[in-house]
Amino acid sequence: MDIQIRDATEADLPAIVEIYNQSIPGGWSTADTKPITVAERVEWFRKHDPAKRPLWIAEMDGQIAAWIGLSSFYAGRPAYDATAEVSLYVASAFHGRGIGAFLKKRMIEHCPRLGVTTLLSMHFDHNQATRRLNDRLGFQELGHLPESAVVEGKTRGLVISALRIPAADWISSVFNPWLKILPLSINQAP
Ligand SMILES: CC(C)(COP(=O)(O)OP(=O)(O)OC[C@H]1O[C@@H](n2cnc3c(N)ncnc32)[C@H](O)[C@@H]1OP(=O)(O)O)[C@@H](O)C(=O)NCCC(=O)NCCS
């Protein structure tokens, strides 16, 4: 797959917001019910940090096709430093071409470098694409808050899934079988 991944810059924010907004109609993906603006996302964007909580852009065929980012859990309380939530949004025109799976797998590979040992994914219980993607990558469903949201007039639940990731030093010295499944490039840029 000819896909380039790089750290997002603030100049990418309109494209990031546009891709996010594409996911609102249909009520599958996000608890936002109306389009967000670039201004509303500036603070969120600036909380990212390539060394710990990256936000990556994926380019394909010269276009921004998707973004994936990590955010701190529980408002960034320090005891949860090694836990991060992953968010992934693929532009509608690029759905179903393997980009989501490629990006999430790549982010998992980088988690040891980023100091993340628990990766959380939260999604609506009817979001089959995210559920399948997480199943494939080894996430475990740990929680379900049924009937906790109302989206487009329908009551929906939230699934909380997690992937446990061995720390970098342990991975490289001990857990070779895992390395074979997810070849790590822990010192590389995305
Ligand atoms: C969810 C999303 C990131 C998946 O990315 P993608 O590039 O379209 O998915 P991929 O082509 O990599 O496929 C990944 C898996 O999802 C499945 N899938 C993709 N689209 C699907 C759909 N509409 N319905 C059911 N399963 C779907 C694929 O079959 C594949 O599963 P498999 O390996 O068991 O066959 C993408 O659809 C998206 O951005 N959706 C809107 C935003 C969103 O829901 N983000 C998550 C918020 S929590």
Domains within the chain, CATH numbers bracketed = 3-181 (3.40.630.30)
pLDDT for 178 equals 45
Cα-flanking dihedrals φ and ψ of residue 137, to 5°?
Answer: -90, 0
- Asked if residue 99 lies in contact with residue 93, where contact means CB atoms within 8 angstroms, the answer is no
Nearest CA, atom 35, ligand 1:
132
Q: Can you give the pLDDT of all 190 residues of the chain as single tens digits?
A: 689 999 999 999 999 999 999 999 989 999 999 999 999 999 999 999 999 999 999 999 899 999 999 999 999 999 999 999 999 999 999 999 999 999 999 999 999 999 999 999 999 999 999 999 999 999 999 999 999 999 999 999 999 999 999 876 655 554 444 444 443 333 345 6
pLDDT for 168 equals 67
Nearest CA, atom 5, ligand 1:
100
Nearest CA, atom 34, ligand 1:
132
Query: How many angstroms is it from 95 CA to the middle of ligand 1?
Result: 7
Query: How many angstroms is it from 4 CA to the middle of ligand 1?
Result: 19
pLDDT for 184 equals 35
Q: Which of 129, 153, 120 is nearest to 27 (CA)?
A: 153
Residue ranges lining ligand 1, Cβ < 6 Å: 23, 28-29, 88-90, 95-101, 123, 127-130, 132-133, 136
pTM assigned to the model = 0.90
- Asked if residue 59 lies in contact with residue 65, where contact means CB atoms within 8 angstroms, the answer is yes
Cα 108 from Cα 117, distance rounded (Å): 10
- Asked if residue 87 lies in contact with residue 60, where contact means CB atoms within 8 angstroms, the answer is no
pLDDT for 170 equals 55
Cα 8 from Cα 72, distance rounded (Å): 17
Cα 58 from Cα 49, distance rounded (Å): 17
pLDDT for 185 equals 36
According to DSSP, the residues that pair with 68 across neighbouring strands are 56, 88
- By residue count, the chain amounts to 190
